Homo-oligomer: A and B are copies of this chain.
């Protein structure tokens, strides 16, 4: 079977190859042809599964997003009983993931996917993630750690806060003397304390 027609799993293989390229060479190194070559198909083969380059990138981003979701979900489960550490540890996990998978994270959240809302896979995982945050906020409200109020709005604030902090960090926009003076975890905790009033005593 020297001609591998009907690969059967090309779509997935291309996404996987894309993730590999992404990890090694960054967004800049991503190309349809390179992914195709890596999988061992002709350079036009991807067009059977992806409308264009953006579609492949979107798929890669969605896959990365799923990984992140799984991590966040597991972390949330582990701290189900303590809403405060639920928030803290999930945020910490989020940050860790972003640092360890910079390219993946950026491709997911930095507008490389030009019209992310066009891709249903992306929309879905995005909504799921948000719901997870909302759940966390509700738990905190029940525990009296967060003041009452529209949970979706609070969740947006919380996420925006953690997300913004993460992105500033990845873009090296956080002053180096802050990074020198405090640990990353301290900075994140301080940032969270700003968002969750009841958290202040967590700070060292």
- Check if A160 sits within 8 Å of B159, measured CB to CB: no
Nearest-neighbor residue (CB-CB) of A196 within chain B: B194
User: Of B26, B110, B154, which contacts A194 at CB under 8 A?
Assistant: B154
Q: Quick one: copies of this chain in the complex?
A: 2
The listed residue (B111, B157, B172) touching A190 by CB distance below 8 A is B157
Q: Do A117 and B172 have beta carbons less than 8 Å apart?
A: yes
Which candidate, A13-21, A30-38, A82-90, A175-183, is the interface stretch facing chain B? A175-183
Question: Given the complex, which residues of B lie within 8 Å of A117, measured CB to CB?
Answer: 172
Among A26, A106, A111, A177, the one with the most B-chain Cβ atoms within 10 Å of its Cβ is A111
Q: A114-B28, A165-B164 are in contact. Are A177 and B152 (CB under 8 A)?
A: yes
Identify the A interface with B (CB < 8 A): 26-28, 106, 109-112, 114, 116-117, 126-127, 130, 150, 152-154, 156-165, 167-168, 170-175, 177-178, 182, 187, 190-191, 194-195, 197
Q: Which 9 A-B pairs have the closest CB atoms?
A: A164-B164, A160-B164, A110-B110, A160-B165, A163-B164, A157-B194, A157-B191, A117-B172, A110-B111
